[in-house]
Chain A
Amino acid sequence: MKPKENIREKMKSLREAYVRQLPDRVRDLEAFFERLKLDPMAFDGLSDFHRLAHSIKGSSASFGYKEMSDGALILERLLKTLLQSGDRPDDHRIADIGTRLGFVRDALSHLEDNDGGEDFRAYPALPSEPGKKTENRLVYLVEDDPYVLQNLFLQISFFGYEVRIFDELQGMSRAVREKQPAAIIADIIFPEGDLAGVEAVARLRKEFTAHVPVIFISARNDLLARLRAVRAGGDAYFAKPVNITDLIDALDALTRDKEEIIYRALIVDDDPEMAAYHALILQNAGMVTEVVNDPMKVYDPLIEFNPDIILMDMYMPGCDGMELSKTIRQMPAFFSIPIVFLSAETNTDKQFKAMSMGGDDFLTKPIKPEHLISSVAVRAERMRIIRSFMQCDSLTGLLNHTKTKEFLDVELAKASRRNGKLAFAMIDIDLFKSVNDTYGHPTGDQVILSLSRLLRQRVRKTDIVGRYGGEEFAVILLDTDTASALSIMDGIRDSFQKIRHLSGKGEFSSSFSCGIAVFPSYKDPTAICNAVDKALYSAKHQGRNRTVLAEGE
């Protein structure tokens, strides 16, 4: 079963992508015309000029932009007549071409007012995908080989970047002056010279103080080109043919928002004033805090808040800090969480005893704010690192199987407490064994990496993505209903099947099958796992490369 609702959204973004690059195509028409005017006798681009006009006519008509397609049509007719006659165009003809090109230019400026036809007539609108990002994901791509340009454009777009394409350096430089992108991807060899791309970037670098990351791609793989690229301030260099997984990897690393790491501290203290005071100190240092005054009620906040560190009063009524820390450490998820004791206790024997019971540090009240902050921050940081080793798959950096299951349990419990929604999707790469057998395991790993990247980019940061097994992935979409889950996952499936993977034995593409089950249709972890397994099995059984909902949805 395929989500028909989804197509309206996709059609809309396809139309938008088309409109975005239309000015570039029209500018190419203008460039042909300029060359023709400059030297009509030597102009050898008539056939390409004609093809471009023809192509704009066909594509703009297909997307319902009547004025544009009419303008391109009359230009195309004239160029065709010229082409068939074999005559060199005289001044009169050249002026005629200019007039007709003017119609195309006008149509382009009216494009905004006329938003084409309906995006897709038959289907109702769907609420927008939750995966939308607001950060700057604008990438300029400059490359004079149209095939490489289009191919890279599509591939990079799949990964959620907004790509503007240029086939010559000046246009790109102009665009950078108008609006700075998140990154530039530039070819090196242009008609102007074998290092023209590098030189153009070096000039741009001198103009701007803000660092815009630049990735060079080139057929040149020699040291000189690489060296010049580095000197021009290139952040990465890829020899053609470009491995798209590596390119996206570099792009991600260069454009990712340098996220400020925010530590989470849970404060357990029976004295509300004291707890609030310590919370305030840590908050002022940029941490997030949660306060528990009753030690017997620490479990729910522990699971919900998921702290990086616990700050605990040593002496509390009913349950002292040492006992409490012991019971917390009995829970596998918190086996290694740092616990810092706070107490007025100055007796070092007692302090040592507390440490042996599972405390990491012992701070004596009253504590200086800067001591509290540094003691908490240094342990929280270590905890983050240890956690990432314990919880993440080493190849993809996604959560591992155990951790994913844990999150599923926790999120299901949360959803049921809040009468919320949750969608669980299980993904399995189709015929993965044959990818490994045909192209080798390193290439298989590339496919797994590109899928993990795609998944992470297309769901929200708060959603959970795990590598469940060799070629199996799990996605937990929080607060997501059946229709949206289907739309999101099938969108990802569609993008994935279009990604071209590169290997020593040639290019290929891969696909995955996906099963989805939703809470509250399935309430407990076992039921939702069984349902999602069945759905995935049926996706495989129906011929793979599809998204299937669990029965009863």
Chain B
Amino acid sequence: MKILLVDDDPFVGEMIAMVLRSQDYEVETAENGAEALDKFNARGDIGLVISDMNMPGMDGLELFRLLRQTGTKVPFILLTGDDASGRLADSGVDLYLLKDENIQETVVDAVEKFLGESGQ
């Protein structure tokens, strides 16, 4: 099962993709919500979506809602720059991760929870 990673910041996106690939997960990347929706629909094998919250155009939460409207129950992790757990508590998103210096560890831990260790 592949991971779809959505982040408009190429550096952060690339870093997280790199960390996950080093753990043998297959990662597909998208730079905005629209591209993410296209990729998700085009590929049948996305098992987890990780998206940044703060993106121009469609934000992470809007992407989540649009995905849910298509009927998919794919797990969805939202990356936020600040602690938004209070504000977004009842949004239905599966998990929030804070974009901080621990992101390399927290994202791997989180993905393991949803997909099990090391990809397949």
**Interface positions of A (Cβ within 8 A of B):** 2, 4, 7, 10-11, 14-15, 17-18, 21, 51, 54-55, 57-59, 61-64, 66, 69, 73, 76, 117, 120-121, 123, 147, 150-151, 153-154, 494
Q: Which residues of B contact A (CB under 8 A)?
A: 8-12, 14-16, 18-19, 21-22, 24, 31, 52, 54, 56, 79-82, 99-101, 103-104
Query: Are B99 and A121 neighbours in the complex by a CB distance under 8 Å?
Result: no
A150, B10: Cβ atoms under 8 Å? yes
When C-beta atoms are compared, the residue in chain B nearest to A48 turns out to be B56
With a cutoff of 8 Å between Cβ atoms, the chain B residues found around residue A59 in the complex are: 9, 11-12, 99
CA A147 – CA B35 in complex, angstroms? Answer: 13
Closest chain B residue to A154, Cβ basis: B10
Structural contact, B10 and A54, CB atoms closer than 8 A = no
CA distance A55 to B81 in the complex (A): 8
B82 to chain A: which residues have CB within 8 Å? 57, 73
A494 / chain B contacts, CB cutoff of 8 Å: 21
Contact B14 A58 (CB under 8 A): no
Report if A14-B54 is in contact (Cβ < 8 Å); known contacts: A7-B18, A61-B101, A120-B104: no
A416 to B80, CA, bound (A): 56
Shortest CB distance B57–A (Å) = 10
User: Are A66 and B101 in touch, CB under 8 angstroms?
Assistant: yes
Which listed residue, B8, B54, B101, touches A62 by the CB 8 Å rule?
B101
- Residue among B79, B103, B104 with max Cβ neighbours from chain A (10 Å): B104
- Cβ-defined partner of B15 (8 Å) among A14, A55, A57: A14
17 A-B residue pairs with Cβ-Cβ distance under 8 Å, sorted by A, are A2-B21, A4-B22, A14-B18, A17-B11, A54-B54, A55-B8, A58-B12, A58-B52, A58-B80, A58-B81, A58-B99, A59-B11, A62-B16, A62-B100, A63-B15, A120-B22, A150-B31
Contact in complex: B11, A57 (CB < 8 Å) = no
Q: Is the CB of B99 within 8 A of A61?
A: yes
Ranked 3 nearest A-B pairs via Cβ: A58-B81, A58-B99, A64-B101
CB distance from B76 to the nearest CB of A (A): 18
CB distance from B108 to the nearest CB of A (A): 10
Asked whether A62 and B103 contact (CB < 8 A) given A55-B9, A55-B54, the answer is: yes
Complex: A66 Cα to B101 Cα, angstroms? 8
Can you add 14 more A-B contacts, CB < 8 Å, to A61-B99, A61-B100? A4-B22, A7-B18, A11-B15, A11-B18, A11-B19, A14-B15, A58-B12, A62-B99, A62-B101, A62-B103, A63-B11, A66-B101, A123-B22, A154-B14
Query: Shortest CB–CB separation between residue A471 and chain B, in angstroms?
Result: 22
CB distance from B103 to the nearest CB of A (A): 5
Given contacts A11-B15, A14-B14, whether A58 and B9 have CB atoms under 8 Å apart is yes
Please give, as numbers and ranges, the residues of chain A lying within 8 Å of B56 by CB-CB distance. Answer: 51
Give Cα distance in the complex from A61 to B9, angstroms. 13
Residues in B neighbouring A21, C-beta threshold 8 A: 11
Which residues from chain A contact B19 at a C-beta distance below 8 Å?
7, 11, 120
Chain B residues, CB < 8 A from A153: 10
- Are the C-beta atoms of B81 and A57 separated by less than 8 Å? yes
Chain B residue nearest in CB terms to A1:
B24
CB distance from B16 to the nearest CB of A (A): 8
Q: Contact check: which of B14, B15, B22, B81 meets A54 at CB < 8 Å? A: B81
CB-based contact B12/A62 at 8 Å:
yes
Provide the bound-state CA to CA distance between A121 and B19, in Å: 11
B9 surroundings in chain A (CB, below 8 A) = 55, 58-59
A18→B11 contact, CB < 8 A: yes
Q: How far is the CA of A62 from the CA of B99 in the complex (A)?
A: 5
A495 to B104, CA, bound (A): 21
A367 to B54, CA, bound (A): 78
Q: Are A62 and B22 in contact (CB under 8 A)?
A: no
- In the complex, what residue of chain B is closest to A157 when comparing beta carbons? B10
Q: How far is it, in angstroms, between the C-alpha of A69 and the C-alpha of B99 when the chains are bound?
A: 10
- How near does chain B come to A64, taking the closest CB pair, in angstroms? 4
Give Cα A64 to B14, complex, Å.
15
* CB of A183, distance to nearest CB on chain B (Å): 21
Please indicate which of the listed interface residues A10, A58, A69, A494 has the most CB atoms of chain B within 10 Å of its own CB: A58
Q: Tell me which residues across on chain A come within 8 A of B21, comparing CB atoms.
A: 2, 7, 494
Task: Give the residues in chain B near A4, CB-CB below 8 Å.
Answer: 22
A11 cross-chain contacts in B, Cβ below 8 A: 15, 18-19
Tell me the complex Cα distance, A154–B104, Å: 21
